Structure 1
Amino acid sequence: MPIATGAAPAGDAARHRLVAATAGLVLLGLLWIMPDRDDLGRPLVLTCLLGAAFGVVLQRSRFCFWCIFRDWLEDRDPSGLLGLLAALAVGLVGYSLLFGIWVPAPAPGRLPPDAHVGPVSLTLAAGAFAFGVGMALSGSCISAHLYRLGEGAYGSLVALAGAVGGFVLGFLTWNTLYLVDLHRAVVIWLPAHLGHGGALALQLGALALIAAALLRSRRTSPEDPSPRSASATGGLLQRKWPAVTGGILIGWIALLAYLRSGPLGVTAELGSVARTLASTLDLLPEQLFGLDGLAGCATAIKSALWSRNGVFVAGLVLGSVAAARISGDYRATVPKMSELPRLFAGGLLLGWGAMVSLGCTVGVLLSGIMAGAASGWVFALFCLTGAYAGWLLRRQRLGRI
């Protein structure tokens, strides 16, 4: 993903500022016309603003789950993964403080409200593995495909179209998976078994051990978290942000979102569009067993224009457009015809994996681990395993990504 290293021509800079201002005006227009709250009383305006902030942070810190994992695989550069660990650590501490107030006596079967504490199952492992392979094939996770639209990566449209198809495939296979596996899945919320303090200590300890292992394995110097690591010229939005800085900001955004709106997630609206489309075409079974009662990125049939996740995603894309244009990161790239099957196939795997896992790297991994859900850790393990398998496949058949 290109990062501007020099001054852009005056004409290009003016055009970028114009597009950034237009994105800001579109965002303001959305905030003006949307209702303050959705049908369930959840704030929409605040959610859209949080989405815009999320998009800016993702774009400026290059917070793409696939990219940061690939950096470590190919260059043993742990900077991005350390940023991910920082986001999880901030979120874990913040969520734990909230849960200590909302659920002072945690116990099995008593879960925090609206948290992404999902079931642990073979289906979750398979979905996470498929999602990881899909990241490698398509070149990004779903959240990164969304923010890369702001950078002019039009191949992301192909991958996202594939993800819609993947969600439909997930709905079509759901009942079989539920009867074979999911009906006996268990929901494991770590504070219910270890207490708030024990769960927090265990998970922070695991993050610390992972960070130490990453630092020992590096071949390049870790990213300097000071502003001097970025370009010395330009303003805040014209410099690349250190990954750890981005991770800390994402942790705070996740905490604010959960406190005022709901857990971070980017697939609910995409899944709802797919479910509504498939239902309209009479492709879905009459009932999807147990789906709507499970925690995660909900994919209900759309009955209203405005939805919490929809305005969050809209804000994310607009925020990334503005950040990419101001920084000069915008590079219009159109995929070659030979790349379209790979992008679409990767998107299919992303969509199927996100549907059967009840979310993606944001909804299950980030929000799940922050909430102390064992499902978040299981997703992380199998998603990274799938990403490694996809990386090997691409290196063997298609060369370096």
Structure 2
Amino acid sequence: MATTHQHPLRHYLSPAAAVALLAALALSTRWIETQAGGRTLVFALVTGAVLGLVLQRSRFCFYCHARDWFEGGNPRGLLAIVLALAVGLVGYTVVLGGWLPVPQPGKLPPDMHIGPVSWVLVAAGLSFGAGMVVSGSCISAHWYRLAEGSAVSPFALLGSALGFILGFKTWNGLYSQSVADAPVVWLPAHLGYGGALLVQLAVLAAVAAWLWRGFAREAIKEGAPATRVPGLGAVWRRLWAGRWSYWVGGLAVGLIGALAIVRMRPLGVTATLGSAARQWAQGWGWIPERLDGLDGFAGCATAPQSTWLTPNALLLAGLVAGAFIAALASRQFAPRWPTWRDAVRGLSGGVLLGWGAMTGLGCTIGTLLSGGMAGALSGWVFAAALFFAVWAGLRAKAALSTVGPSQGIG
């Protein structure tokens, strides 16, 4: 049996380093709180840190969960995504019902990720899904894998920034062709809060029932393990060994998504990256100064920044820090030197991810998760296109791997 090479850094960057990083994060909140809007900024940082820890420990990854189902028939990951959406739907309905008691067509709740629905959104979802297959993760997973020392993720995030720039270059044409006149559909405005919640939960229940086929039979066949209440020491060790259960990740992500809107905008992990790419590209004259209609959308839309001390930037910083703390504490920080294949995979896949995220006004977290939780039809359409692209991409990779050896392909 082949032995797994252990990077020597893993033995030195111990859980003690995680504690030190956690202490530094806590101390930074005291300075952040003194800035304008400090309490919201601290909330964003802490929310991001908790989200990063949950994502890393539960391995919550839209691409990996979809791949496990399409290739191996393992539904646990996709069921976790369904659970996150269901929990978030209930939470969003309660919160939005307090803000806007009577939903009406043409009147959208502020800051929610509700975007236009057209063929452009479908193209964005297909591009993002293809980028997931090529690079091996979505943008949110690349952020937390960056904290694990991934050799692909730095190139994927750089490629995503380039993809955003490409998206800005194509935006005005797409906007005039389709986006400007596309309907912006908020389901509660047409079905009421109760009707929209029931319809969406029914769809999620149908998806869960479809995924569950054969799953229960496998559990019975394997036999249920003997149950015993573990001690506190055993519980603590399990927190930092292996991975958390799928359902824990789904439940936690859903709760975090619903709680986030109480104090700040919905979750999203691309606005800061896209805004930086936009500001840099406009400074060099690579993209138009005017991006028609873009700043009027509330999703993970980008805008030039006078300061980078924003809730979204702090959320992102917290996510990486939380994932780094989790990776160190669980001894899963395993950096390695990238190869040229890592660079090609990351950059090419990242460009597809970035173009899809810019054109779709968000990624799997912003458009799919936050949009779906808010009752946006755009979130469901983006999800359908994305998962279709993952399915098709995995089939294409399997076909190429089968044909490759006989024709000298790699």
The reply to whether TM is greater than 0.5 is: yes
Give runs of aligned pairs for residues 243-282 of structure 1, distance below 5 A: 243-282=246-285
What amino acid does structure 2 have at the position aligned with 1:357?
A: G
Q: Is 1:285 equivalent to 2:283 in the alignment?
A: no
- Contact 2:91–2:259 (Cα < 8 Å) also in 1: no
The SS at the match of 1:120 is coil
Match of residue 393 from structure 1:
396
Task: Give the Å deviation of 1:243.
Answer: 0.9
Give runs of aligned pairs for residues 40-51 of structure 1, distance below 5 A: 43-51=40-48
Quickly say closer, same or farther: Cα 1:9–1:339, change in 2 above 3 A: closer
Q: Is 1:69 equivalent to 2:66 in the alignment?
A: yes
CA distance in 1, matches of 2:87, 2:31: 34
- Once the two structures are superposed, residues 356-379 of structure 1 have per-residue CA deviations (whole angstroms, 9 ceiling, x without a partner) of 000000000000010000000000
CA distance in 2, matches of 1:174, 1:277: 17
CA distance in 1, matches of 2:284, 2:150: 30
CA distance in 1, matches of 2:46, 2:126: 32
- Once the two structures are superposed, residues 368-391 of structure 1 have per-residue CA deviations (whole angstroms, 9 ceiling, x without a partner) of 010000000000000111112222
Match of residue 408 from structure 2:
none
Q: Is 1:327 equivalent to 2:330 in the alignment?
A: yes
Quickly say closer, same or farther: Cα 1:72–1:104, change in 2 above 3 A: same
Task: Give the Å deviation of 1:12.
Answer: 4.8
Q: Is 1:316 equivalent to 2:319 in the alignment?
A: yes
CA distance in 1, matches of 2:365, 2:78: 14
Identity of aligned residues (%): 47
1:178 to 175, 178, 201: 175
Task: Give the Å deviation of 1:24.
Answer: 1.5
CA distance in 2, matches of 1:260, 1:198: 26
- Once the two structures are superposed, residues 290-310 of structure 1 have per-residue CA deviations (whole angstroms, 9 ceiling, x without a partner) of 000012013111210301111
Q: Is 1:336 equivalent to 2:339 in the alignment?
A: yes
What amino acid does structure 2 have at the position aligned with 1:311?
A: L
Task: Give the Å deviation of 1:339.
Answer: 3.3
Task: Give the Å deviation of 1:26.
Answer: 3.6
Quickly say closer, same or farther: Cα 1:397–1:226, change in 2 above 3 A: farther
- Between structure 1 and structure 2, the one with the greater Rg is 2
Give runs of aligned pairs for residues 336-355 of structure 1, distance below 5 A: 336-355=339-358
Deviates more, 1:239-248 or 1:76-85: 239-248
User: How much is the aligned-residue C-alpha RMSD, in angstroms?
Assistant: 2.8
Quickly say closer, same or farther: Cα 1:11–1:188, change in 2 above 3 A: closer
1:209 to 206, 211, 224: 206
Task: Give the Å deviation of 1:105.
Answer: 1.1
Match of residue 133 from structure 2:
136
Specify every segment of 5 or more residues in structure 2 that has no aligned partner in the other structure, as ranges: 405-410
Task: Give the Å deviation of 1:353.
Answer: 0.2
Deviates more, 1:239-248 or 1:168-177: 239-248
The SS at the match of 1:353 is helix
CA distance in 2, matches of 1:382, 1:11: 40
CA distance in 2, matches of 1:131, 1:235: 34
**Number of positions where the alignment pairs a residue of Structure 1 with one of Structure 2:** 392
Quickly say closer, same or farther: Cα 1:395–1:21, change in 2 above 3 A: same
Match of residue 161 from structure 1:
158
- Once the two structures are superposed, residues 240-283 of structure 1 have per-residue CA deviations (whole angstroms, 9 ceiling, x without a partner) of 21111111111111111111111010000000110011011111
CA distance in 2, matches of 1:12, 1:133: 33
CA distance in 1, matches of 2:279, 2:253: 31
Match of residue 21 from structure 2:
23
2:376 to 373, 388, 398: 373
Give the TM-score, by structure 1 length: 0.91
Give the TM-score, by structure 2 length: 0.89
